[in-house]
């Protein structure tokens, strides 16, 4: 069954992700554009570096062409944030992006990006899903003529656009040495070239297309960036900067080759935007993202918005409120004035600018922030649980949430997305069921490891293992 998840439809290539199914989804999107009177504008089509992603993109283009919709088809694999930005820059009806982001190499995916250049809402994806059930969904929209397909290369225009968010003088003066790892994905030739233009000395690794992504998930996490960490030390670099497969997520390594989580980076950049760049407004984070953001916001009297997990929820707040930064612990990030879509390229560039302006290594910037707001220790994991047991656990947590966790009082319970329990000592625990797998996802944070150990014990007692 074709179903859109938190960020599009993803499936295994040649199993569920077939040309026939891609054409069905494309036809449904074409019908959506007709129904909302958007068929008079062009549709941008982008794709990442995965196996057959370019051919799937051409299949989508052919469906649109037959439906009488003009297409702007990227010449080469292109980052998701760049494809999304093209929607705004071209005044397009939206975009279709063929990507499975950070998922394993055997997966491909398709996401529809509406005309506001951010993730599609559940209402939009539901409408598209419902039309998939009708193979003749385009029969009600006969086209008097075929659409036209134009090949585009947005890189240079995106380069010029992204400069407006950066202090180029500070970057050029600092002359940072940076190792860049696009993880064989679509960010190759983007981050490294931008940094070079800004006066940085760069060395790119994994800078060619490999549809197997070196045999691992193209996800910039501690365990997948071992070569980047090694190269930073070997190159005596100031930073190591990484991107995931479609460059909408980021990864950062400091001058000592130590990895920094998305929670740490988002917190530092948020503090930097407010203190050094003078940004004003609120901040929005997901339920699973660090409360260090809240502590920083409290220091500056800034309002914090909390959303369900998934950048589409963050994007909606960013479009309706004045927001400095929107971020999530999985590496989603955007800022005020930019499109409401994740952009790992911009996140990495702002980290480089932050280090350049501070004139200090990233590790010292982190130490300074911790000295002002305290240490926040986070843990996350996933546990395989049979479907029946998973439903029972979540039902019990929602209907009868615990009043305490291993002696620590529960002060508030949030059931908007899973069950999040706030504890008296400032710690918190979030348990969310996977919508597609027999899994429970667990997130926890505290200012001390003793509380985290107690939360671990609670989860063990609740589930049987963690």
Provide the pLDDT confidence category of residue 130 given band limits of 50, 70 and 90.
confident
Q: How many CB atoms lie within 10 A of CB 192?
A: 22
Annotated domain spans of the chain: 9-154, 176-260+345-357, 261-342, 377-463
Q: Is pLDDT above 60 for 126?
A: yes
Q: Is pLDDT above 80 for 230?
A: yes
Q: Residue 163 has what pLDDT?
A: 97
Any idea which of 138-147, 148-157, 406-415 has the lowest mean pLDDT?
A: 138-147
Spatial CA neighbour of 203 closest among 228, 223, 167, 221: 228
Please check whether the domain covering 176-260+345-357 is classified as CATH 3.40.30.10.
no
Mean pLDDT along residues 140-148: 73
Q: Residue 145 has what pLDDT?
A: 81
Provide the pLDDT confidence category of residue 137 given band limits of 50, 70 and 90.
low
315's enclosing H/E stretch is: helix 311-320
pLDDT tens by residue, 83-111:
999 999 999 999 999 999 888 999 999 99
Q: Residue 144 has what pLDDT?
A: 66
**Order of strands across the sheet with 250-253?**
201-204, 177-181, 239-243, 250-253, 259-260
Q: Is pLDDT above 90 for 134?
A: no
- Name the average pLDDT for the chain: 94
Q: Residue 463 has what pLDDT?
A: 87
Q: Is pLDDT above 70 for 79?
A: yes
Provide the pLDDT confidence category of residue 458 given band limits of 50, 70 and 90.
very high
Q: Residue 131 has what pLDDT?
A: 79
366 vs 355: CA distance, rounded Å:
11
Task: Show the tokens assigned to 317.
Answer: 């707040």
Q: Is pLDDT above 90 for 434?
A: no
Non-local (6+) Cβ contacts of 80 within 8 A are 46, 48, 97, 99, 101, 111, 186, 246, 247, 248, 341, 342
Q: Is pLDDT above 80 for 5?
A: no
344 vs 334: CA distance, rounded Å:
8
What's the CATH fold of domain 9-154? Alpha-D-Glucose-1,6-Bisphosphate; Chain A, domain 3 (3.40.120)
* Same fold: 261-342 with 377-463: no
**Torsion, Cα of 76, 80, 82, 88 (10° steps):** 120
Query: Residue 121 has what DSSP assignment?
Result: P
Angle at Cα 352 formed by Cα 327 and Cα 159, nearest 5°? Answer: 85
Mean pLDDT along residues 434-444: 85
Q: Compute the half-sphere exposure of residue 90: CA atoms within 13 Å on the CB side of its CA.
A: 29
pLDDT tens by residue, 352-369:
999 999 999 999 999 999
Query: Residue 213 has what DSSP assignment?
Result: G
Alpha-carbon radius of gyration of the chain? 22
Non-local (6+) Cβ contacts of 313 within 8 A are 286, 307
356 vs 137: CA distance, rounded Å:
54
Provide the phi-psi class of 186: left if phi over 0, else alpha when psi is between -120 and 50, else beta. Answer: alpha
Q: Residue 466 has what pLDDT?
A: 46
pLDDT tens by residue, 247-274:
999 999 999 999 999 999 999 999 999 9
Prediction pTM value: 0.94
User: What distances in angstroms separate CA 44 from CA 29, 39, 93, 110, 378, one per listed residue?
Assistant: 12, 12, 8, 13, 39
Classify domain 261-342 by CATH architecture. 3-Layer(aba) Sandwich (3.40)
The packing angle between helices 122-132 and 19-35, to 10°, is 120
327's enclosing H/E stretch is: strand 323-327
Provide the pLDDT confidence category of residue 316 given band limits of 50, 70 and 90.
very high
Q: Is pLDDT above 80 for 437?
A: no
Query: Residue 50 has what DSSP assignment?
Result: S
Provide the pLDDT confidence category of residue 401 given band limits of 50, 70 and 90.
very high
Q: Residue 2 has what pLDDT?
A: 85
Q: Is the CB of residue 344 less than 8 Å from the CB of residue 243?
A: yes
Classify domain 377-463 by CATH architecture. 2-Layer Sandwich (3.30)
Tokens 């901040």, located at residue: 283
Strand 71-74 to strand 408-414: parallel, antiparallel, or no bridges (unpaired)? Answer: unpaired
264 vs 44: CA distance, rounded Å:
34
419 vs 395: CA distance, rounded Å:
10
Q: Compute the half-sphere exposure of residue 22: CA atoms within 13 Å on the CB side of its CA.
A: 30
Q: Is pLDDT above 90 for 464?
A: no
| Higher pLDDT among residues 465 and 95, named by residue | 95
272 vs 89: CA distance, rounded Å:
28
């Amino acid at each position: 069954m074709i179903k859109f998840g938190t960020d599009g439809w993803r499936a295994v290539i040649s199993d569920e992700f077939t040309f026939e199914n891609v054409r069905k989804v494309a036809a449904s999107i074409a019908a959506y554009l007709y129904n909302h009177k958007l068929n008079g504008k062009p549709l941008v089509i982008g794709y990442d570096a995965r196996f057959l992603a370019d051919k799937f993109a051409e299949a989508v283009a052919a469906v649109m062409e037959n439906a009488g919709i003009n297409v702007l088809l990227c010449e080469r694999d292109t980052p998701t944030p760049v494809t999304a930005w093209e929607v705004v820059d071209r005044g397009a009806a939206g975009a279709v992006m063929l990507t499975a982001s950070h998922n394993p190499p055997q997966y491909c995916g398709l996401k529809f990006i509406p005309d506001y250049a951010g993730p599609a809402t559940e209402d939009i994806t539901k409408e598209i899903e419902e039309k998939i059930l009708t193979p003749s969904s385009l029969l009600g929209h006969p086209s008097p003529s075929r659409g036209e397909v134009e090949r585009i290369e947005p890189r240079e225009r995106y380069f010029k656009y992204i400069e407006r968010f950066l202090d180029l003088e500070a970057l050029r003066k600092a002359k940072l040495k940076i190792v860049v790892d696009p993880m064989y994905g679509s960010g190759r030739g983007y981050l490294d070239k931008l940094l070079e233009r800004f006066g940085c000395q760069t060395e790119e690794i994994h800078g060619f297309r490999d549809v197997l992504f070196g045999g691992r998930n193209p996800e910039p996490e501690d365990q997948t960036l071992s070569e980047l960490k090694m190269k930073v030390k070997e190159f005596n670099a100031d930073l190591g900067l990484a991107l995931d497969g479609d460059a909408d997520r980021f990864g950062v390594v400091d001058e000592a080759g130590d990895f920094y989580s998305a929670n740490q980076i988002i917190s530092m950049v948020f503090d930097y935007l407010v203190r050094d760049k003078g940004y004003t407004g609120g901040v929005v984070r997901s339920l699973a993202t660090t409360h260090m953001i809240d502590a920083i916001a409290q220091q500056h009297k800034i309002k914090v918005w909390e959303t369900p997990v998934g950048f589409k929820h963050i994007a909606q707040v960013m479009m309706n409120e004045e927001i400095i930064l929107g971020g999530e612990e999985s590496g989603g990030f955007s800022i005020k004035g930019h499109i409401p879509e994740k952009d790992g390229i911009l996140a990495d560039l702002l980290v480089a600018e932050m280090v350049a302006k501070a004139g200090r290594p990233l590790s010292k910037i982190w130490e300074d922030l911790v000295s002002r707001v305290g240490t926040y220790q986070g843990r996350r994991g996933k546990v395989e649980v049979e479907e029946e047991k998973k439903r029972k656990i979540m039902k019990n947590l929602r209907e009868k949430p615990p009043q305490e966790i291993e002696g620590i009082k529960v002060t508030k319970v949030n059931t908007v997305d899973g069950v999040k329990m706030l504890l008296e000592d400032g710690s918190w625990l979030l348990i969310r069921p996977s919508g597609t797998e027999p899994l429970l996802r667990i997130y926890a944070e505290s200012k001390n490891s003793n509380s985290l150990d107690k939360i671990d014990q609670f989860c063990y007692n609740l589930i049987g293992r963690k």
